Chains A and B, each alone.
Chain A
Amino acid sequence: MVHHKECSLLDEHIASNQRKVSLTCVVNGVEICDTIDPTMTLLHFLRDRLKLFGTKESCGEGECGACTVIMNGKAVTSCIILAIEADGAEILTVEGLAKDGRISILQEEFISEDALQCGFCTPGFLMSTRALLDRNPDPSEEEIKEALAGNLCRCTGYLPILKAVKQAAERERKELKK
């Protein structure tokens, strides 16, 4: 966890009239320090500054879930979060799912179940699912639907997605037992 700095009325950016604020956060396990415009969204910070293009922008208003990332353990829509709100936070994006050059069980199951067509919504679905399985390794179908209700897929791939999530949960539980 990164050290959370004080930010108050005397903050440099308020006093100096400069359009810059400093941001420190951990993204996919790497500590990032940057100076940004306060109007920048977390989504644009990830894509434009960090060049992490896995997180997608679609509606830009929190309706579709394409921009979902995990912030401090919770799945959130990064398009309606200011980057500076992530100061001191830990962020996980779809790029952080693979370990040691190998994609995760969850991603493998999405591929084997053809749980994607165009793939644009997939990073969002993966991150919502990751957050779900982290807090509930054995979710019911209702719980899966509830957790994924904020993610829209316009290629109508919901059934394979549900199946992929269930299989990933089962495989992950088995691997944990080992």
Chain B
Amino acid sequence: MLSRFKYLKPHNLTEAVQYLEKEEKSFVLAGGTDLMILLRRNLINAEHIVDIKGLPEMAEFEFIDGGGLTIGASVVVNTVVDSEVVKAKYPALHQASASLASFLLRNRATVVGNICNASPGADLPPALLVYDAVVNIAGTQGMRQVPLHEFFTGVKRTVLQRGELVISVQLPDPGDGDKSIYLRQARLRGHDLATVGVASRIKPDGKVAIGICAVAPTPLRLFALEEKINERELNQETVEWAAEEIKQHIRPITDVRSSAQYRMQMASVLLKRGLSHLITKEDNHGSS
């Protein structure tokens, strides 16, 4: 690698954000599964690497009944995969986490890194979006919270400003009787990016939430489609209708993994499959 960076591992948050603000060519290191590749391919010129794994608030991984789930920025994906509470309360997040990259990479890759990297095809955002996830951001001016659906601004772009650092992502407690599923299409089983990924959720009040990746410049929460679905009675007929209607709400492109038409078709199929599964498993709480 050509970057001749300095390495810094701060032990308090103020130190970290001040450093990130002061030094322009500084990059945040958590799992490194994206950053190290950018460095190796000389796609970035890093002068400072700020390793956040020494910050105690980044290690938080806790579920509070009625409060929800907090996933700190240094929590690796396999921790989420192995969590019984995630499996029971947030099945779509469990499934999305278990489908991300390979087991080896999941031992390093972090949930928050998957968000901050802001890849249009990232697997975790659809599942986090359907749970109304909120991103906790620290900066030199203090803390702020941004709903995940407002966090992404474009391909590999987010609302994060210089000197800001994501501490954690937070998901409200879905309560009892909540159901969700994450389905993804990829070229092969195993280590491949998603061609399309769809998270479907039916909330305890019967309302639907839909998150999707790899069909637009950013992962999307399909609020407009949800609203139209929620105006109808949730049955197989509505599911069939929604599977056609989704095509009006996404803008996939053609790339190495798939044509735009195939993505469009698979988004339709995965939504139909997901919602059908959820409505036919009425009594199976938190089914996968």
Contacts and interface: CB of A to CB of B under 8 A. Distances in A.
Interface of A: 6-9, 11, 13-14, 19, 21, 38-39, 41, 60-63, 65, 68, 74-77, 79-82, 84-85, 128, 146-151
| 3 closest residue pairs by CB, A with B | A150-B102, A150-B104, A38-B7
Nearest to A80: B36
Interface in B84-117: 101-105, 107-108
Contact of A75 (B29, B33, B107): B107
B53 A85 contact: yes
A38 B5 contact: yes
A6 B11 contact: yes
Contacts of B254: none
Contacts of B36: 41, 61-62, 79-82
A84 B53 CA distance: 12
B4 interface: yes
Contacts of A149: 102-104, 190-191
Given A61-B37, A62-B33, A147 B103 contact: yes
B230 interface: no
Contacts of B7: 13, 21, 38, 82, 84
A38 B78 CA distance: 27
A130 B66 CA distance: 40
Contact of A80 (B32, B54, B78, B103): B32
A81 B32 contact: yes
B200 to A, nearest CB: 24
Contacts of B10: 8-9
Nearest to A146: B103
- Chain B interface mostly: mixed
Nearest to A13: B6
B261 interface: no
Contact of B32 (A19, A74, A85): A85
Interface string B209-250: 000000000000000000000000000000000000000000
A80 B5 contact: no
Given A7-B8, A65-B102, A82-B7, 10 more contacts: A6-B11, A8-B15, A14-B8, A38-B5, A62-B36, A77-B108, A82-B29, A82-B36, A149-B103, A149-B190
B92 to A, nearest CB: 19
A7 B9 CA distance: 6
A62 B103 contact: no
Interface residues of B, number: 33
B49 interface: yes
A85 B51 contact: yes
Contacts of B107: 74-76
B43 interface: no
Interface in B44-65: 49, 51, 53-54
Nearest to B11: A8
B110 to A, nearest CB: 13
A150 B49 contact: no
B104 A82 contact: no
13 contacts: A6-B11, A9-B10, A11-B9, A41-B36, A62-B36, A74-B107, A75-B104, A77-B104, A81-B36, A82-B29, A82-B36, A128-B103, A151-B104
A68 to B, nearest CB: 6
A39 B5 contact: yes
B103 to A, nearest CB: 5
Contacts of A65: 102, 104
A21 B3 CA distance: 16
Contacts of A128: 103-104
A68 B104 contact: yes
B104 A38 contact: no
Contact of A39 (B3, B19, B51, B54): B3
Nearest to B7: A38
B40 interface: yes
B1 interface: yes
A58 to B, nearest CB: 13
Nearest to A72: B107
A38 B6 contact: yes
B40 A61 contact: yes
Nearest to A71: B107
B51 A14 contact: no
Contacts of B4: 19, 39
